């Protein structure tokens, strides 16, 4: 075919364009950060862009090159924001690491990603000192602080001060242009088995995601907004909010490590926050605080709930008692992460309150750019009837095609197209409203963070009194899910609940240790000998954890 080609400019979609746009058109709009020591830092997009350029120069001076991974172990703050733009914008790759992982896992991730520079907030210094000898690829450790805050004594041989590095540069730096498919960031997600896996985002995927995330039926962002991402910048780029914020030029408020209900409420009020985003556990803490102290929000208009299912009662309370619009969304690390949003469609606002609520409680309909389908056990697509649930698959330009360092593809062929299986089980109704009903991947999500059941089972199985162990997620009012260890004891042995839980100490992060142990005579198996997690979850559906 002799197609007529468009006659429009060819401009790669690059992350640097976001920050240069914000600096030109929203130069005086503020970015406010609460620092680790409680002080408030305030500057503008103009300042942030200049310092991102200075950082790009500094990364060059440190001897790093395009493609090199610049890792962060940091809270949501302005310096982390600068690394997002300075590292990616200069062609390097911003690798955000979840500091809540077990030190061995962090070590593994840094080595796997071959990080060259590791930037960290001072609260992570003890952790980094501990793992530094194992971090073979890291050439420079950079403390995200001022000179006066630099630790007097440290075992880190080549520790640099971020403010010194940035301050030494003049900012005469032109953002380079390159292929929009170049890697911009990496985020590792805890797998069900074995080691975490890295999702590698590109400039193109990040920009398309940022555009889609800003739309009215998505995060609904405008230059008039003041946005506070509670969702960490180490978790799927804070759902892409730093990029979308620069795109629309809204004021950005970054809470640092101060994530309790009172601190967040005070920040909402002090900075005039109109929208905030995070996992339900965070909103439970905020709700508890305002109910307890009989407070109201003076500026907050909407809260975005994602990462775990939003409890309907909490959504209702925020809406009814505080006039806050609650937006429920679903996504995952492999999807940059946004996939669906529960928003009313044309005509649906005429529905009664209960009907509307039923629509808004679901995980929602796919945003443009994400296609989804559900498959039955036979691999065939199921109808969108809101009844039949199946394995949820997705495709789109910000959906993963391959994990970092893995040659094999995680994708499957359905109807002649390539799809990513999410590991979630869902129904989709006739209006396209998706609702998660279960999970086929064997993991537990506690307060928005993953716990691998298999890892816990492996530890339990190493105990001399354990014949067989299975770990399932049990409903928990605060954390959504917490792990329950189900154990069949070896004949003739004795072990207590306490001794078993004690056995996990030092082998896994403390918050990942199961909340309770249930001793049973038998664990259900499939014909091929696999543990039937679904049956086990049903068996313990009403189990009340002692921590609940
Ligand atoms: P992550 O990659 O850590 O962002 O986790 C993604 C997974 O979290 C999804 O595959 C779901 O299992 C779960 N998830 C995310 N959002 C929701 C939601 N709104 N409701 C239920 N589960 C969710």
d(CA 457, ligand 1 centre) in Å: 22
- pLDDT per position as a tens digit, 322-339: 999 999 999 999 999 999
- Mean pLDDT of all residues in 458-486: 91
445 Cβ closer than 6 Å to some ligand 1 atom: yes
Whether residues 482 and 408 share a domain: the answer is: no
496, with CB counted inside 10 A (0-12, 13-18, 19+), is exposed
What is the reported pLDDT for 491? Answer: 87
pLDDT at 499 over 70: yes
Active-site positions read: 189, 334, 445, 450
Please tell me the distance from the alpha carbon of residue 305 to that of residue 230, in angstroms, as a whole number. 11
Whether residues 423 and 502 share a domain: the answer is: no
CA-closest candidate to residue 48, choices 14, 91, 86, 12 = 86
Q: In DSSP terms, which residues pair with 199 in a beta bridge? A: 187
107 Cβ closer than 6 Å to some ligand 1 atom: no
Number of structural domains (the chain) is 3
Non-local CB neighbours of 65 within 8 Å, separated by 6+ positions: 92
Pairing of the two strands 449-452 and 443-446: antiparallel
The enclosing H or E element of 141 equals strand 140-143
CA angle 341-345-286, nearest 5°? 40
Whether residues 197 and 136 share a domain: the answer is: yes
Cβ atoms 230, 278 nearer than 8 A: yes
Please tell me the distance from the alpha carbon of residue 408 to that of residue 416, in angstroms, as a whole number. 19
Nearest-CA residue for ligand 1 atom 7 is 332
- pLDDT per position as a tens digit, 205-242: 999 999 999 999 999 999 999 999 999 999 999 999 99
- Mean pLDDT of all residues in 137-165: 96
Cβ atoms 391, 440 nearer than 8 A: yes
Residue 48 lies in a domain: yes
CA-closest candidate to residue 220, choices 270, 276, 266, 265 = 276
pLDDT at 397 over 90: yes
- Mean pLDDT of all residues in 503-525: 92
User: φ, ψ for residue 283 (rounded to 5)?
Assistant: -70, -30
Site to substitute for ligand 1 among 445, 475, 480, most atoms within 8 A of C-beta: 445
pLDDT at 140 over 90: yes
- Mean pLDDT of all residues in 382-398: 96
| One-letter-per-residue 3-state SS of 475-486 | EECCCEEEEEEE
Q: How confident is the model at residue 439 (pLDDT cuts 50, 70, 90)?
A: confident
What is the reported pLDDT for 193? Answer: 60
- Mean pLDDT of all residues in 290-315: 95
Whether residues 70 and 193 share a domain: the answer is: yes
Residue 24 lies in a domain: yes
Q: What is the CATH number of the domain that holds 508?
A: 3.30.300.30
Nearest-CA residue for ligand 1 atom 22 is 308
Residue 362 lies in a domain: yes
Whether residues 365 and 469 share a domain: the answer is: no
Residue 268 lies in a domain: no
What is the reported pLDDT for 437? Answer: 87
Which residue pairs from 172-177 have beta carbons closer than 8 angstroms and sit at least 24 positions apart in sequence? Answer: 172/57, 173/53, 173/54, 173/56, 173/57, 173/90, 175/14, 175/16, 175/20, 175/53, 175/56, 175/89, 175/90, 176/16, 176/66, 176/90, 176/91, 177/12, 177/14
Domain end point (choices 158, 190, 208): 208
What is the reported pLDDT for 58? Answer: 98
pLDDT at 458 over 90: no
Mean pLDDT score of the chain: 95
Other C-beta atoms within 10 Å of 294: how many?
A: 6
Whether residues 90 and 132 share a domain: the answer is: yes
Q: What is the CATH number of the domain that holds 193?
A: 3.40.50.12780
| One-letter-per-residue 3-state SS of 359-412 | HHHCCEEECCCCEEEEECCCCCECCCCCCCCEEEEEECCCCCCCCCCCCCCCCE
The enclosing H or E element of 140 equals strand 140-143
Cβ atoms 73, 127 nearer than 8 A: yes
What is the reported pLDDT for 440? Answer: 83
Residue 414 lies in a domain: yes
d(CA 307, ligand 1 centre) in Å: 4
Cis-peptide, bond into residue 337, ω within 30° of zero: yes
CA-closest candidate to residue 435, choices 346, 361, 541 = 361
Nearest-CA residue for ligand 1 atom 8 is 307
The enclosing H or E element of 209 equals helix 203-214
Residue 174 lies in a domain: yes
189 Cβ closer than 6 Å to some ligand 1 atom: yes
Please tell me the distance from the alpha carbon of residue 144 to that of residue 160, in angstroms, as a whole number. 9
363 Cβ closer than 6 Å to some ligand 1 atom: yes
Whether residues 139 and 160 share a domain: the answer is: yes
Site to substitute for ligand 1 among 186, 234, 239, 307, most atoms within 8 A of C-beta: 307
pLDDT at 191 over 90: no
Please tell me the distance from the alpha carbon of residue 358 to that of residue 256, in angstroms, as a whole number. 35
Whether residues 476 and 425 share a domain: the answer is: no
Cβ atoms 501, 466 nearer than 8 A: no
Whether residues 60 and 164 share a domain: the answer is: yes
pLDDT at 190 over 80: no
Nearest-CA residue for ligand 1 atom 4 is 332
d(CA 332, ligand 1 centre) in Å: 6
CA-closest candidate to residue 537, choices 483, 500, 496, 489 = 483
Q: Residue 156: helix, strand or coil by DSSP?
A: coil
- Mean pLDDT of all residues in 148-170: 95
From the CA of 441, give the closest atom in ligand 1: 12
Q: Residue 252: helix, strand or coil by DSSP?
A: strand
98 Cβ closer than 6 Å to some ligand 1 atom: no
439 Cβ closer than 6 Å to some ligand 1 atom: yes
- Mean pLDDT of all residues in 6-33: 98
pLDDT at 192 over 60: no
Q: In DSSP terms, which residues pair with 374 in a beta bridge? A: 392
- pLDDT per position as a tens digit, 57-113: 999 999 999 999 999 999 999 999 999 999 999 999 999 999 988 899 999 999 999
Cβ atoms 483, 444 nearer than 8 A: yes
Please tell me the distance from the alpha carbon of residue 55 to that of residue 352, in angstroms, as a whole number. 53
Pairing of the two strands 226-229 and 197-202: unpaired
From the CA of 363, give the closest atom in ligand 1: 19
Residues, the chain, total?
548
Nearest-CA residue for ligand 1 atom 1 is 332
Please tell me the distance from the alpha carbon of residue 418 to that of residue 393, in angstroms, as a whole number. 10
Cβ atoms 244, 237 nearer than 8 A: no
d(CA 528, ligand 1 centre) in Å: 29
pLDDT at 290 over 70: yes
Nearest-CA residue for ligand 1 atom 16 is 307
26 Cβ closer than 6 Å to some ligand 1 atom: no
Please tell me the distance from the alpha carbon of residue 501 to that of residue 499, in angstroms, as a whole number. 6
From the CA of 328, give the closest atom in ligand 1: 19
Residue 377 lies in a domain: yes
User: φ, ψ for residue 122 (rounded to 5)?
Assistant: -60, -25
Whether residues 416 and 484 share a domain: the answer is: no
307 Cβ closer than 6 Å to some ligand 1 atom: yes
484 Cβ closer than 6 Å to some ligand 1 atom: no
366, with CB counted inside 10 A (0-12, 13-18, 19+), is buried
How many Å from the N-terminal Cα to the C-terminal Cα in the chain?
Answer: 65
Q: Residue 247: helix, strand or coil by DSSP?
A: helix
Whether residues 398 and 451 share a domain: the answer is: no
Report if pTM > 0.85. yes
Nearest-CA residue for ligand 1 atom 9 is 332
Non-local CB neighbours of 475 within 8 Å, separated by 6+ positions: 481, 548
Please tell me the distance from the alpha carbon of residue 381 to that of residue 12, in angstroms, as a whole number. 36
What is the reported pLDDT for 195? Answer: 82
Nearest-CA residue for ligand 1 atom 6 is 332
Best-predicted range by mean pLDDT (147-151, 474-478, 528-532): 147-151
From the CA of 334, give the closest atom in ligand 1: 2
CA-closest candidate to residue 444, choices 501, 494, 482 = 482
Lowest mean pLDDT, pick from 98-102, 484-488, 533-537 = 533-537
Residue 295 lies in a domain: no
- Mean pLDDT of all residues in 246-275: 98
Please tell me the distance from the alpha carbon of residue 266 to that of residue 270, in angstroms, as a whole number. 6
Q: What is the CATH number of the domain that holds 412?
A: 2.30.38.10
308 Cβ closer than 6 Å to some ligand 1 atom: yes
Site to substitute for ligand 1 among 232, 331, 366, 372, most atoms within 8 A of C-beta: 331
d(CA 333, ligand 1 centre) in Å: 9
Q: Residue 255: helix, strand or coil by DSSP?
A: coil
pLDDT at 526 over 80: no
Domain end point (choices 439, 474, 493): 439
d(CA 334, ligand 1 centre) in Å: 11
Whether residues 52 and 133 share a domain: the answer is: yes
Domain end point (choices 173, 208, 243): 208
**Residue 453, domain extent:** 443-539
């Amino acid at each position: 075919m002799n197609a007529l080609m468009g006659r429009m400019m060819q401009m790669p979609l690059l992350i640097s364009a976001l920050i240069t746009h914000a600096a030109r058109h929203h130069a005086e709009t503020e970015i406010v950060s609460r620092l680790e020591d409680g002080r408030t830092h305030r500057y503008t997009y103009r300042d942030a862009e200049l310092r991102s350029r200075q950082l790009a120069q500094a990364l060059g001076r440190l001897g790093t090159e395009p493609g090199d991974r610049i890792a962060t172990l940091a809270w949501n703050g302005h310096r982390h924001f600068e690394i997002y733009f300075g590292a990616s914008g200069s062609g390097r790759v911003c690798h955000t690491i979840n500091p809540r992982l077990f030190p061995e896992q962090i070590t593994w991730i840094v080595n796997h990603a071959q990080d060259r520079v590791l930037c960290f907030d001072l609260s992570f210094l003890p952790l980094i000192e501990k793992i530094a000898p194992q971090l073979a690829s890291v050439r420079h450790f950079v403390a995200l602080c001022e000179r006066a805050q630099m630790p007097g004594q440290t075992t880190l041989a080549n520790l640099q001060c971020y403010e010194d590095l940035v301050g030494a540069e003049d900012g005469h730096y032109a953002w380079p242009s390159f292929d929009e498919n170049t890697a911009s960031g990496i985020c590792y997600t805890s797998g069900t088995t074995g080691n975490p896996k890295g999702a590698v985002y590109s400039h193109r995927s990040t920009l398309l995601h940022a555009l889609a995330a800003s739309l009215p039926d998505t995060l609904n962002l405008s230059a008039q907004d003041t946005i506070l991402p509670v969702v960490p910048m180490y978790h799927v780029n804070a759902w892409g909010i730093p990029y979308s914020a620069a795109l629309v030029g809204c004021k950005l408020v970054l809470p640092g490590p101060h994530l309790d209900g009172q601190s967040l409420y005070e920040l909402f009020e002090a900075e005039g926050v109109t929208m905030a985003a995070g996992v339900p556990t965070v909103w439970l803490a905020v709700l508890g605080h305002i109910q307890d102290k009989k407070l109201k929000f003076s500026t907050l208009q909407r809260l975005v709930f994602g990462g775990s299912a939003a409890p309907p009662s909490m959504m209702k309370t925020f809406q009814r008692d505080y006039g806050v619009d609650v937006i429920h969304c679903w996504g995952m690390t492999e999807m940059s992460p946004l996939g669906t949003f529960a928003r009313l469609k044309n005509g649906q606002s005429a529905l009664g309150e209960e009907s509307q609520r039923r629509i808004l409680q679901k995980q929602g309909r796919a945003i443009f750019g994400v296609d989804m389908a559900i498959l039955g056990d036979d691999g065939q697509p199921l109808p969108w009837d809101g009844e039949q649930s199946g394995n949820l698959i997705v495709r789109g330009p910000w959906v993963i095609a391959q994990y970092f360092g893995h040659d094999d593809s995680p994708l499957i062929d359905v109807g002649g197209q390539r799809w990513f299986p999410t590991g979630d089980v869902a129904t989709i109704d006739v209006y396209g409203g998706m609702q998660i009903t279960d999970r086929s991947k064997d993991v537990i999500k506690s307060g928005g963070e993953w716990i691998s059941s298999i890892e816990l089972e492996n530890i339990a199985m190493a105990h001399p009194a354990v014949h067989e162990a299975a770990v399932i997620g049990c409903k928990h009012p605060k954390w959504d899910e917490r792990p329950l260890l189900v154990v069949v004891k070896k004949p003739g042995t004795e072990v207590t609940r306490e001794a078993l839980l004690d056995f996990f100490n030092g082998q896994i992060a403390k918050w990942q240790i199961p909340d309770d142990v249930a001793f049973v005579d038998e664990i259900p198996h499939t014909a091929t000998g696999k543990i039937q997690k679904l049956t086990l979850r049903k068996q313990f559906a009403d189990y009340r954890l002692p921590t609940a």
